[in-house]
Amino acid sequence: MKNPLPRLLPAPLLFHDTNSMRHLFTALLTASLYYTSAGATDLDILPIAKPVTARVMQLGAPSEIVRITERLAAAAARQPEWFMAYVQEHEGTKGTLPYHANMGVSEDEYRKMVESSTAMTLMQVGTVKLSATRQADGGLRLQTVPPMPGLDGIVIEQGGMGVTTRHARLAEQSRIDNRNANGPTGRWSGTQWKHEALSASHALAVKLAVGKRSDHGDGILYLDVKDVGEGKKDVFYEILLFPVGR
């Protein structure tokens, strides 16, 4: 198993969702995830029978960590090709992404940021009605009311073989076992789908995960999108917590 810390480092943070920070993945959310080979997909926790009230969440962090993250984000925005290449170079390496001076922060600041995952919290910023409707081909179409820009309309294919989003089809599947009880989400397990593509002019990375939090008993659904280049700049994340029947 591998523990790929912040493969694209800290996400936009509550009340500090600046344009520069939108160039990074939701890594503190996934900093303690363990990935294994694909297995059974726990789609039965989704609200298929009737809509449920889901809590819309965002990540919050101490102001010092926000300032460090903003500087790192600005450095990544100035040199996106190097940053993506550095991440890919260390893909599969156990532990955190190694420090590099190009990150725009000191090694001590980077260490503080990495260690701050336990200081991050999920904060509720609203509610939506969440439902999953069975399609003729057996897939599940997610719906949120009011519509959320990313999650609304996503289709999880029959048996979890893939996911269709408005940005890309996510074909790469892995199981998640987050064992960090002190992280922002608490312990949870589930399934993640992703698609990543990089060229000289366009960077696209999309992830969707669904699972159940073992310490709270509720479901978690998150989408992370980075679509930058060729006239596009669509970078955001969405996190929902919702009640499950089991």
Q: Which of 184, 187, 243, 242 is nearest to 214 (CA)?
A: 187
**Residue 1 belongs to a domain:** no
**Residue 184 belongs to a domain:** yes
Stretch 90-97: mean pLDDT: 77
H or E stretch covering 178: strand 172-178
* Rounded-to-integer distance, Cα 38 and Cα 193, Å: 10
**Residue 95 belongs to a domain:** yes
Tokens 């999953």 belong to 132
Per-residue pLDDT tens over the stretch 29-59: 443 444 444 444 578 899 998 999 999 999 8
**Residue 46 belongs to a domain:** yes
Predicted confidence band of residue 15 (pLDDT cuts 50, 70, 90): very low
**Residue 62 belongs to a domain:** yes
Per-residue pLDDT tens over the stretch 162-199: 999 999 999 999 999 988 887 788 899 999 999 999 88
Q: Establish whether the linkage from the previous residue to 4 is cis, with ω within 30° of 0.
A: no
**Residue 98 belongs to a domain:** yes
**Residue 15 belongs to a domain:** no
Q: Out of 50-59, 64-73, 98-107, which region has the weakest mean confidence (pLDDT)?
A: 64-73
Domain assignment of residue 215, given as a range: 20-242
DSSP letter (8 states) at residue 2: B
Q: How many CA atoms lie within 13 A of 108 on its CB side?
A: 1
Per-residue pLDDT tens over the stretch 113-170: 888 766 678 889 999 999 999 999 999 999 999 999 999 999 999 989 999 999 999 9
**Residue 64 belongs to a domain:** yes
* Rounded-to-integer distance, Cα 5 and Cα 72, Å: 15
Contact residues for 240 (Cβ-Cβ < 8 A; gap 6+): 54, 55, 56, 57, 128, 130, 144, 151, 220, 221, 222
Q: Out of 18-27, 46-55, 77-86, 170-179, which region has the weakest mean confidence (pLDDT)?
A: 18-27
Q: How many structural domains comprise the chain?
A: 1
CA 111-114-120 angle, 5° bins: 135
Contact 230, 202 (CB under 8 A): yes
